[in-house]
Amino acid sequence: MSAESGNLQLRDLRVELDAESGVVRAIDGLTLAIDRGETFALVGESGCGKSMTALALMRLLPENGLVTGGDVMLDDPSQRGQRTDLLGLPEAAMRQVRGRRIGMIFQEPSTSLNPVMRIGDQIVEAIETHTALRGAAARAKAIDWLKRVGIPEPERRIDEYPFRMSGGQKQRVMIAMTLAAEPDFLVADEPTTALDVTIQAQILDLLRDLQREHRMGLLLITHDLAVVSGMAQRVALMYAGQIIEVAEAAEFFSAPKHPYAQALLRALPAADRRGLPLEAIAGTVPPLWQRFDGCRFAPRCAKAMAHCPGTLPPVVKLTAGHEVRCLLYAPGGDAGPAAASKAQMPTPQPSAARPEGAASEAPLLDVQNLCVRFPIRSGLLQRTTGYFDAVAGVSFSISPGQTLALVGESGCGKTTTGKAIVQLLRGVATLEGKALLEGRNLFDLNGDALRTARRDVQIIFQDPFASLNPRLRVAELLDEGLAALQPDLDAATRRARIERLTDQVGLRRDALGRYPHEFSGGQRQRIAIARALAVQPKLIVCDEPTSALDVSVQAQILNLLRELQRELGVSYLFITHNIGVVEYIADRIAVMQRGRIEEQGTCEEVLSRPQQPYTRMLLAAVPRLALLPA
């Protein structure tokens, strides 16, 4: 792809990783350019090389990573027309570039914040390192940034540690820490993944304001195409280490050319696709340690021609600024019976109706007046001086085979509600009320009865990195729960189930022998989903299960969850801020604010005729695709 101009340029960048499986060519000839004041979006599936591109740009590659070709050129503000090759700078000079010239927001806040430092100290450190502010002035600036990114009570919370904050709040802290240095360019790797829609809207508005004020260039790495359509001027689609299509955003969304781009847009969940399987793209990104003799997308492409697997596709310039790497657009590429026979994707057919709980049927889960109170400790001896009501009188029910979506802003108590139901807050918080699972109050269970209940109720956590044991291989992670909760299964039966789960969640079999740190964020989330599904539970608490997934894998997971619900009658408490997912999968919706449920009803009632001002505000903040594919 061409990059004739731009204040920040990556030209023919190549990155290799030394792995047990061989040399992984994570980035293979990537070229792009970003101007000051521009938003350039990089999209694609997990494992395609998006995050590796960001790490290479910042020279933060892992120890086994090496840039083997290309360059990264940055305009020198002190010398007009001069550029600096970042790959050639000594590390001391590169540290001055990081933060001040180019900032980065990482995908996983838990791995980016120091757990033993107060959040205020971390932000102040960034401000004092890259600006002239010191002491009280730097602290005041840190408080101002916490306020700007939507942290409540910033004057008090600046002295808290990261573990006291929700996933979305930690993400906001990391954004504040990065933006406090007011860099010329910002590399944002999934910056709004863990944020609810209202805070996401605030952050996106803040980024737009900073671009106007400081002419900040933004490389936006995300799987949220609705965000891309509302933010980006240009879009590059990446696959298997290469950019395969780049275009102006309006043209990309109205007339995508590459078959992969077309399939991605058709995989988006929405209300008009309820009852239909999403058009998930079969298979996964191919392993990058292999050499490619043809098109890398050909094995998954519905429009592949006979010569695609053995012919390297050229980059075809369609219009000024719109390029595509595909044999369909090469001379003679649209001819031949093979292309014609595969030109149309199959039309999805309505799936069999899901079991609908009858009004007279007893609910699977009945939560009555749930209250969760956390102790507030202070002083040298950390004595309890009061209590914080994280959940205050929440009541709802879930019928067998149905999905209740719990939505609301970060910190409103959604995750706490889910953890209380799964019995993960015993000894940590005071629990009141009832959580009746088929008539059994989960709060009263102990011993074998509690172990049985844990098999019936599983949870998928929001942060896959924090929920997976880094010392266990994937096969051991999946086998651990099976062996503990279903001891009657022998090793061979457990292994067969594990391999079947791996296929279902879109991972290759070779993933079973690898550790969590060897996967991308989206791939780790698939492992977490497989672990929850392993014991075949009756109820799964899904805490943002698709927030770290790109749209194609999200479609696979949503199809899988709906199919399991249809076949097994499993129920879901689906905690999410993605309204598109809610429209597609939920039967009922409960809207939560400040520990209380403000409104609940059927999906159609809440989304079409919201009664509460808070619900209307949430829906108004939802990003929508500005343009739909032709």
Scan for tokens 């990783």, then name that residue.
Answer: 17
Angle between helices 259-266 and 551-568 (to 10 degrees): 40
- Which pairs from 246-251 meet CB under 8 Å and 24+ separation? 246/1, 246/32, 246/321, 246/322, 246/323, 247/321, 247/322, 247/323, 248/321, 248/322, 249/41, 249/626, 250/626, 250/627, 251/319, 251/321, 251/322
Cα–Cα distance between 139 and 146 in angstroms, integer?
11
Predicted pLDDT at 191:
82
Please state the pTM of the whole predicted model. Answer: 0.75
184-243 pLDDT, tens digit each:
999 998 887 767 777 788 788 888 887 888 889 999 998 788 889 989 999 999 999 999
- Side chain identity, residue 545: P
Cα–Cα distance between 133 and 471 in angstroms, integer?
42
- CB under 8 Å to 314, separation ≥6 — which residues? 325, 327, 330
Take residue 171 and report the two structure tokens written for it: 């993400």
87-137 pLDDT, tens digit each:
999 999 999 899 889 999 887 777 789 999 999 999 999 999 988 999 999
Burial of 87 (0-12, 13-18, 19+ CB in 10 A): middle
Contact 36, 216 (CB under 8 A): yes
Burial of 353 (0-12, 13-18, 19+ CB in 10 A): exposed
- CB under 8 Å to 81, separation ≥6 — which residues? none
Predicted pLDDT at 481:
84
Predicted pLDDT at 335:
38
Take residue 498 and report the two structure tokens written for it: 């594990």
Predicted pLDDT at 1:
64
Predicted pLDDT at 408:
86
Predicted pLDDT at 343:
35
Check the CA dihedral 329-335-340-342 and report its sign.
negative
Contact 330, 317 (CB under 8 A): no
Predicted pLDDT at 145:
92
Adjacent-strand bridge partners of 67? 15
C-alpha closest to that of 52 among 74, 71, 33, 24: 24
Q: What is the DSSP letter of 276?
A: S
Residues of the chain with pLDDT under 50: 335-360, 627-630
Predicted pLDDT at 476:
93
